[in-house]
Structure 1
């Protein structure tokens, strides 16, 4: 994420302009990475998970007994959504020097940061409440659940109160006191959720009012900075690192060094290759695949696919996942071709470029077929007897082979041999 070019230009801006510049820079960079995430096939996987999860959720609700203790699930889901998360300020280390003289005029900047943070976290809170709602509508409220608009409005208002409390805690001088208040606030939120869901709205409002008065009293009697710069800078750096780590699951992130893991038990496979000129690219790409995050992505995707194929009960949906997931996995594996797109010295190798496309295909094809075989085995062991049990694995394998032959191979040739 790029910041201001220098401190003087930042100081010359108004707080509103400074926030607009920072947010525009952040949004532009994040949007570029989100495009890479979309190209990775994640959106299709997420959509498939959502459809499959919603179907299984509805089927599970029909099987649950009337005495099901849903309140524990509600606490585990809603307490973190309500209590966790802070204000994203987009501050930079140089702000400690260049913006410190303007500290008294930065109220507008931080109000904009607060509004942005509330919008993002309100969306997450609304998603958590929406996910819980079918369970609450069936079991909650003593048979008379509260209306969804009222519950959503209460959740969003409480989220705003939580963000305000977090902002005040970031100004505390004593770090241990700050940590203790956060723990107490999370515990109070977890205790509030059952009251909110099961008791009357008046009891919930009284509980929030009592907790707010106590928190305000504790904060009022604490030593506080006008702005907790150290805390804000540390939090901003941590939030940005988490975002970069998420993007690194799908694409290269230059701001983070690419982790290279030895994985000797796998990397030793490359020793089977004879030391020959035609194995140059094959050796390089095999080491790249086994030692970088791409192999971890492949393994995680395979595990998630196995869980979906095993636990989805509807026959047609299980077969659809069996056919679709290996194709998405192949899209993910094809990212290996981009691993060395900025490695200029590959152009100096005295070897034909067509060997580069052959090396990528030689590595990707067995992994894609192995993934298909694993998912097919899981499907065959868990599917109900019927014509799909034999047809779906064959269709899945045929789809992967066709994608390798008619999609990936021509694409690699165009890339490396044009």
Structure 2
């Protein structure tokens, strides 16, 4: 009887393994189609150009940079977000909480594959960022610096520990405890990176080990652990958020009908529309302004602006700071173009007795306004950083972006509207 149960369990595990393979194949085919649109837009060519220019200026800066430069803060800024952020991509769907619930005892096969895939992607990203910071580290440490392979192993260990911690956080029934755990992982990652690149592998390994022991003790004995088994709701919601961010990126290059709508109240910002005149000509302006301030798109632009501002303030080279701001503005403009797709499939807009051609003008106006505000903020930050004439770089990017909004973007939106 036990042998029959073992055979049945192994057969079920094989079916679960095939389920992951089918899910992953479908996901890969879907995303590869959108990546093809991204490639045709010359986005990768632009990134390659940025890479070449940045590499040149990076080398020039290192030649003039004193070895006493506080490189550790740049390393923290580059590495910690890549190491501490991120979660396991499970490819779970809403119906799985019902139909896969009986298979929960053998779902470890599914989740191990998901963990390996997520770790591979995020570890590669972490290593690439470490390689970017490596010339600065070697320049400032010289012969006292540690070998690349050893530091890469430690970076992979930190990333693996963070991903395991992120996975276990799904078992916390309290969002507050989950938030505390996330904050602790960020602080611990910063401490380990600081010790690793500041003093060496031995202190870094000690901080990592001590931090993991503390986390494990709190996880086992603390009051935050309540959920047993698979945290279906947390995993499904987490996967939905990750897929939304990916779709939002793709929507800047192609039509993405699968893009879900996530609404955030933000009453303090949504009140901007109260200033619009109450007439039919303001309908699309009202609608898309509400959509922008209540969607994830606003958060993305704000985060890009903050990261660009912090990076521009951290670097000592004015040309590099200017390049960072220009790249951030370009990425923001690409993301802002997805606003036009927000209500592409909203049926009720077809019933309004309003000239639909006003839609293009409203979207372009909102994108131009948001882009102008970002350009002004980055210009002010550049001025406060004392970059001199390079503070005009965001203004130049702003002028170019507004010209693109009034010409290329307007024609693209008009063609998209006529094709609907």
TM over 0.5: yes
Distance 2:212 2:404 in 1: 65
Residue 268 in structure 1 maps to residue 274 in structure 2: yes
Following superposition, the deviation at residue 333 of structure 1 comes to 5.5
**TM-score, scaled relative to structure 2:** 0.62
Aligned CA distance change for structure 1 residues 378 and 18 (closer, same or farther; 3 Å): same
Instruction: Name the larger-Rg structure.
Output: 1
Deviation readout 1:85-123 (Å, 9 max, x if unpaired): 554434456656654554454443232122112202212
Distance 2:96 2:200 in 1: 47
Residue 291 in structure 1 maps to residue 290 in structure 2: yes
Aligned match of 1:404: 406
Distance 1:143 1:259 in 2: 52
Aligned match of 2:319: 314
Aligned match of 1:342: 345
Deviation readout 1:29-57 (Å, 9 max, x if unpaired): 55567678889998688668766765665
Contact 1:365–1:404, Cα closer than 8 Å, also in 2: no
Distance 2:174 2:308 in 1: 48
What is the correspondence of 1:122-201 to structure 2 with a 5 Å cutoff? Answer: 122-140=123-141, 143-160=143-160, 163=163, 190-193=190-193, 196-197=196-197
Contact 2:90–2:111, Cα closer than 8 Å, also in 1: yes
Unmatched runs of 5 consecutive residues or more in structure 2: 1-10
Following superposition, the deviation at residue 197 of structure 1 comes to 3.7
Contact 2:193–2:204, Cα closer than 8 Å, also in 1: no
Residue 257 in structure 1 maps to residue 262 in structure 2: yes
Aligned-pair Cα RMSD in Å: 5.9
Distance 1:321 1:259 in 2: 28
**TM-score, scaled relative to structure 1:** 0.63
Distance 1:159 1:293 in 2: 34
Contact 1:91–1:233, Cα closer than 8 Å, also in 2: no
Distance 1:246 1:261 in 2: 23
User: How many residues are matched?
Assistant: 392
Distance 1:332 1:74 in 2: 27
Aligned match of 2:4: none
The 3-state SS of whatever aligns with 2:272 is: helix
Unmatched runs of 5 consecutive residues or more in structure 1: 1-9
Following superposition, the deviation at residue 181 of structure 1 comes to 8.2
Which deviates more, 147-156 or 339-348? Answer: 339-348
Contact 1:11–1:99, Cα closer than 8 Å, also in 2: no
Aligned CA distance change for structure 1 residues 102 and 129 (closer, same or farther; 3 Å): same
The 3-state SS of whatever aligns with 2:276 is: helix
Which deviates more, 392-401 or 160-169? Answer: 392-401
Distance 2:30 2:286 in 1: 30
